[in-house]
Structures are given as structure tokens and as C-alpha cells.
Amino acid sequence: MKKFGVLGFPVKHSLSPLMHNAAMKEVGFDGSYEHIEVAPDDLNCFMKRVKTGEFSGLSVTVPYKEAVIEYCDKLSDEAKLIGAVNTLYFDGTDLVGTNTDWYGFIKALEEVEPGFAEKRILVVGAGGAARACLYALNKFGVEPYLTNRSMEKLDEMVNDFDFISVESDLLEDLDFDIVVNATSVGLKEDDPMVVSESLVDMVETVFDLIYLDTKLVVYAREKGKKLASAKRMLLLQGGKQFEYFTGVNPPLEVMWKSIN
């Protein structure tokens, strides 16, 4: 039986084992998938075990998406550009790092906004999550607007992605159709909305990558905005991972049921 898992710290809350175990069962793949909680001090030791082939593949989540890069023998172009790995698998004896977050993001966006390529899109954030959004949008020919608390971080991204920087105090002078929260604002219960109410009033669709009822999501729902779903993103990035892990098309409906 092949072993897989999701590496993170903490990771007990992750829905990935439900999703992947259901999918393996559905397609008759002989594998198991577990939560793998590794403290930062133990990461090096754990990754050495991974390199011996103890696991056939891993999903990687917070806080290790950047830290695992140094252990990879090969990195996909998307992982290089995004600068984060959420999927590890083997190509022969080579440990390969890739990224499927960008795919989950764009597919989940497309489900509510099939015409997203013609829309004015504002992405908020400048970390790994924002870089995955930028990669996906650029790949589909979209040059989004980008803002962040620290504007200097955007300067570091100009060589990697196409985007238009906007200072936060100028946001309301512009007109957007879609706003994406790619920051960590909203993870804590007492976090404020990451953008103003009047900005949300202006758009037709909100995509909060945090899959909780954040203040942004609650407000957007109250105002009758279309909501792209972070849970669909989780499913769709997981489906793509499943392909890397097993070589089999993901049974998305079964995977979706398993996390609902």
C-alpha cells in the first residue's frame, strides 16, 4: 500500500485526508493518506525520511510551503515562479515539488465568473497565496490590480508577474468587478475586513481564499454578492494533486461529498 499525507503544523484541522482517502477508495487505488504534524525543529529529520521514499507523495500546507523547496530534486516552473510548493511526489527517485493552488484558485473563480478574463480583478496580498493567484491570472491572460499593506513587497514581484499596483488609499477611486483576499486577514475571529465596505459594495464577486465565514464573506453575502468558494478551491487543487499522486483522474464528486 502506498502512503501519502498532508504535512503541516498544526494540521489536524485539514480536510485533505477525507478527500484523498475517499478518492482512492472510489478509484480502487491501493493507498492511504494521513495527517502528518511535524514541528519546525523536526522538519529536517522528517524530510530526510521522505527522501528515502517512505511516502509516495505529500500535500504541504502552512507553514512549510516554502521550507520544503530545499529538499526537492526538481521543481516545476509554477512552483519556481510562485515560490511555494504544496505538492511533493516522486519522478523515479527524484522528489519533485509542484504547486496546484493556482489551479484550484482559477477553477473555483471560473465556476462563479466564467468570464473572469474580461473583468477588472483586485488581488489583496503579497505572500505565497497572492503569488499563486497572480500566476494563475497571468497564465489566463489577465493583468490584475494588486494592493498590499506593505507596498514595497509589490516591488519585489514586478519581475515575476504582470500586475498594476494600487496604493490602498486610492482603491476607491478605481472600479473593480472582482476582489480576492489573498492575505491572512480573517483567519482570526477578531480580524477586521481586509478592504472597506464601500469597496465590496462596488464589486460583483468576492473571493476570500480563507475558507471560513470571515467578515468579508459575511458582508458580501449580506449584500447579495457572488461568492467564489475557498472550499471549492481546496477540492480542485486536491483533485490536481490526486492526479500527480496516482496518475488517475480525480473523482471530484466523491471528493466533494467527503468534505461536506
- Supply the residues annotated as catalytic: 65
> Which ranges constitute the DSSP H helices of the chain?
16-27, 43-51, 77-82, 101-112, 128-139, 152-155, 197-202, 215-222, 230-246, 252-258
Q: Is the dihedral of CA 86, 179, 220, 236 positive or negative?
A: negative
Fill in the per-residue mask, 182 to 211: x = in contact with ligand ATR (CB under 6 A), - = not in contact: -xxx--------------------------
CB of 102 to ligand ATR, least distance (A): 13
Q: By C-beta, is 32 or 168 nearer to ligand ATR?
A: 168
What secondary structure letter does DSSP report for 231?
H
CB 21 within 8 A of CB 243: no
CB of 210 to ligand ATR, least distance (A): 9
Residue 125 grid cell: 496580498
Q: By C-beta, is 130 or 136 nearer to ligand ATR?
A: 130
CB of 65 to ligand ATR, least distance (A): 7
Applying the rule CB under 6 A, the residues between 102 and 131 that interact with ligand ATR are: 125-130
* Per rule CB under 6 A, count of chain residues that contact ligand ATR: 13
Q: By C-beta, is 147 or 246 nearer to ligand ATR?
A: 147
CB of 96 to ligand ATR, least distance (A): 21
Label each residue of 49-99 as H, E or C. HHHCCCCCEEEECCCCCCHHHHHCCEECHHHHHHCCCCEEEEECCEEEEEC
Q: One-letter amino acid identity for 142?
A: V
From the list 112-120, 177-185, 224-232, 252-260, the region that binds ligand ATR by CB under 6 A is 177-185
Identify the CA nearest to 229 among candidates 185, 259, 199.
Answer: 259
Residues 210, 208: Cα–Cα separation, whole Å: 5
CB 228 within 8 A of CB 207: yes
**Nearest residue relative to ligand ATR (C-beta):** 127
CA distances from 137 to 120, 133, 213, 249 (A): 11, 6, 25, 24
Q: Which of 153, 165, 172, 202 binds ligand ATR (CB under 6 A)?
A: 153
Q: Which of 48, 49, 149, 223 binds ligand ATR (CB under 6 A)?
A: 149
Q: By C-beta, is 58 or 126 nearer to ligand ATR?
A: 126
Q: Which of 87, 100, 147, 148 binds ligand ATR (CB under 6 A)?
A: 148
Residues 144, 39: Cα–Cα separation, whole Å: 36
Q: What is residue 11's three-state secondary structure?
A: coil
From the list 1-9, 32-40, 179-187, 216-224, the region that binds ligand ATR by CB under 6 A is 179-187
From the list 4-12, 43-51, 74-82, 143-151, the region that binds ligand ATR by CB under 6 A is 143-151
**Which residues are near ligand ATR by CB under 6 A?**
125-130, 148-150, 153, 183-185
